[in-house]
Amino acid sequence: MARYCVFFLLGACLPIAACEPVAIAILGASASAALRYNMDGVASRTFTAPVAAVKSASIAALERMGLALDSTSRFDTGETIFARAENRDIEIDIEPITKHATRVRITAKGGSLLYDNATAVELVQQTEKLLEVGLAKMAPAVPAVGAAQSPAAAAGASKIGF
């Protein structure tokens, strides 16, 4: 009986030994992602909206979060907005991709070597919310589905009268 237990334990250990390289690779990748999350602190998003709308939504998001607009500057293909909080420096790069698509890249740096990814992500989300509200106001009114049906359609008749 003891001999069978030894063989069983040896057999059970073989799959564990084969999984070790996979487990180490997964742990290494997750540690790398966590380090990158804290080291680069960049959140980016492409919006289907013109540059002017994205810029005004980004500035409104800064104001909504209580961040003070510091300055703006232009670069080759876009514009950078600088903002500050008591212990954060924010950079928002706004770059047109097409007439109706704009890329936003937000960096939030804390007072140390590490960046604040949570603040950068929240700024992207607030910009998205403000853009949705602003673009919804500009969109033409679309009648509700089924609002003005003919009596025949309401009764279940098809377009050809059957």
Mean pLDDT of the 95-113 span: 90
Indicate the pLDDT class of residue 111, thresholds 50, 70 and 90: confident
Whole-number pLDDT of residue 64 = 94
CATH superfamily to which 39-138 belongs = Sirohaem synthase, central domain (3.30.160.110)
Which residues are CB-neighbours of 9 under 8 A, at least 6 positions away?
Answer: none
Per-domain residue ranges for the chain? 39-138
Given a cut of 90, whether residue 135 has pLDDT beyond it is: no
Indicate the pLDDT class of residue 117, thresholds 50, 70 and 90: confident
Cα(92)–Cα(70) distance, rounded to whole angstroms?
A: 11
| pTM attached to this predicted model | 0.61
Mean pLDDT of the 30-50 span: 69
